[in-house]
């Protein structure tokens, strides 16, 4: 397998040095060059023909967003953004994802060396996944300490009792790399009276609030960052906070959002598997679930549990996914009977929601 050729673009000489060294420590990555600003980067792209760019959002001479917008119009290619963990950094990064960036990682204001070292495996994985993604128009190898990979059992044991307390469907969506844009496409197509939607998107804690606000502005539904104990209502979409797992539970009278501060599952917090498992146990057959674009396999086993509980399930198809990792893993598990293009997912979720209602009423009649 050929190594992924990366061009690092950042106005900070220290960041260029640290990031280049960290990326070069991965045997599957070759750093072919660096650039301190977009104008120099533009010439180096022509000379070096890299597979992936890492791009800082704040740079002199031309800001990262303007450069990205021009790049995606003239020469679309995979870009991983470097963002600061601030409100402004979150807004700019979400805009970059709208413009076509594949993914992003965050840098703090201090201890850059320690942060890059701790996140080396994740950053290298993002860059390698970006090399396989579909860009959209609009030192010595260091041994890394890797946290143990936990399943959803670490947060919520699998329940044998599966079923719904009511006949109204609930839609569940999981996503990761490329998911912020995929979720936008789905929510923009939803009517204001759509069934309630619960969403787990892999995203840092500082970004989930701004992301929910952006989705609220572009959707006829009311979209918010989920709060613990919040009732789940039609016409509303609830996005998991970036630092907590989102579960859907029955409180004796209604379905509510429950936030859980358990360990990362599949190395993610929030985890799609946790959301899907909670719905398999508490919502069951009236769940309609979709697993969208994303790196890895979080959500694949949870989607299978939902299908086994009688839920209607689907995955985003490979052609329209930025990375067909999560939906592809679910497809291989036979966790969904259909793979749907992104622009048809909203309509399909609504159609499946309408189909669950008669089945739910029939099940209630036998109770």
Pairing mode of beta strands 312-316, 339-340: parallel
Q: How far apart are CA 184 and CA 199, in angstroms?
A: 11
Q: Return the number of other C-beta atoms located less than 10 Å from residue 347's C-beta.
A: 13
Q: Would you call 355 a catalytic residue per the annotation? A: no
Q: How far apart are CA 149 and CA 269, in angstroms?
A: 12
Task: Single out the catalytic residue among 56, 202, 273, 282.
Answer: 202
Buried b (16+ CB within 10 A) or exposed e, 130-140: bbbbbbbeeee
Task: Single out the catalytic residue among 83, 84, 176, 353.
Answer: 176
Q: How far apart are CA 323 and CA 310, in angstroms?
A: 27
Q: Would you call 145 a catalytic residue per the annotation? A: no
Q: How far apart are CA 95 and CA 290, in angstroms?
A: 24
- Classify burial at 250, counting beta carbons within 10 Å of its beta carbon; exposed 0-12, middle 13-18, buried 19 or more: middle
Q: How far apart are CA 85 and CA 46, in angstroms?
A: 31
Q: How far apart are CA 159 and CA 153, in angstroms?
A: 10
3 three-state secondary structure: coil
131 membership: H or E segment, kind and range: helix 120-132
Q: Return the number of other C-beta atoms located less than 10 Å from residue 292's C-beta.
A: 31
Task: Single out the catalytic residue among 273, 298, 321, 353.
Answer: 298
Which residues, 6 or more positions from 72, have their beta carbon under 8 angstroms from its beta carbon?
Answer: 99, 100, 135, 136, 137, 138
Q: Would you call 298 a catalytic residue per the annotation? A: yes
Which residues, 6 or more positions from 344, have their beta carbon under 8 angstroms from its beta carbon?
Answer: none
Residues annotated catalytic, as ranges: 176, 202, 298
């Amino acid at each position: 397998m050929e190594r992924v050729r990366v061009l690092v673009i950042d106005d900070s000489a220290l960041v260029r040095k640290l990031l280049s060294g960290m990326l070069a420590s991965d045997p599957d990555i070759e750093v072919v060059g660096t650039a301190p600003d977009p104008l120099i980067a533009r010439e180096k792209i022509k000379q070096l023909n890299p597979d992936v760019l890492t791009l800082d959002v704040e740079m002199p001479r031309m800001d990262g967003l303007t450069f990205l917008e021009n790049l995606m119009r003239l020469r679309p290619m995979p870009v991983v953004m470097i963002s600061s963990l601030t409100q402004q950094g979150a807004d700019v990064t979400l805009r970059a994802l709208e413009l076509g960036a594949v993914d992003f990682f965050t840098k703090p204001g201090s201890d850059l060396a320690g942060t890059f070292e701790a996140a080396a495996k994740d950053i290298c994985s993002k860059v390698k996944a970006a090399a396989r993604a579909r860009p959209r128009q609009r030192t010595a190898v260091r041994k890394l300490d890797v946290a143990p990979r936990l399943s959803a059992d670490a947060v919520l044991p699998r329940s044998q009792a599966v079923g719904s307390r009511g006949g109204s469907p609930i839609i569940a969506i999981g996503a990761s790399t490329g998911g912020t844009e995929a979720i936008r496409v789905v929510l923009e197509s939803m009517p204001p009276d759509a069934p309630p939607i619960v969403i787990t998107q892999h995203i840092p804690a500082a970004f989930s609030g701004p992301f929910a606000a952006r989705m609220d502005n572009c959707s006829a539904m009311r979209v918010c960052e989920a709060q613990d104990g919040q009732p789940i209502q039609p016409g509303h979409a609830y996005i998991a906070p970036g630092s907590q797992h989102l579960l859907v539970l029955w409180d004796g009278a209604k379905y509510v959002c429950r936030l859980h501060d358990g360990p990362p599952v599949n190395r993610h917090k929030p985890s799609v598997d946790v959301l899907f498992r909670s719905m398999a146990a508490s919502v069951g057959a009236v769940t309609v679930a979709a697993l969208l674009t994303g790196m890895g396999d979080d959500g694949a086993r949870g989607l299978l549990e939902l299908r086994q509980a009688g839920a209607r399930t689907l995955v985003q198809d490979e052609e329209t996914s930025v990375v067909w990792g999560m939906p592809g893993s679910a497809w291989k598990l036979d966790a969904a009977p259909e793979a749907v293009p992104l622009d048809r997912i909203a309509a399909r979720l609504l159609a499946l929601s309408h189909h669950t209602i008669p089945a739910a009423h029939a099940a209630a009649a036998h109770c």
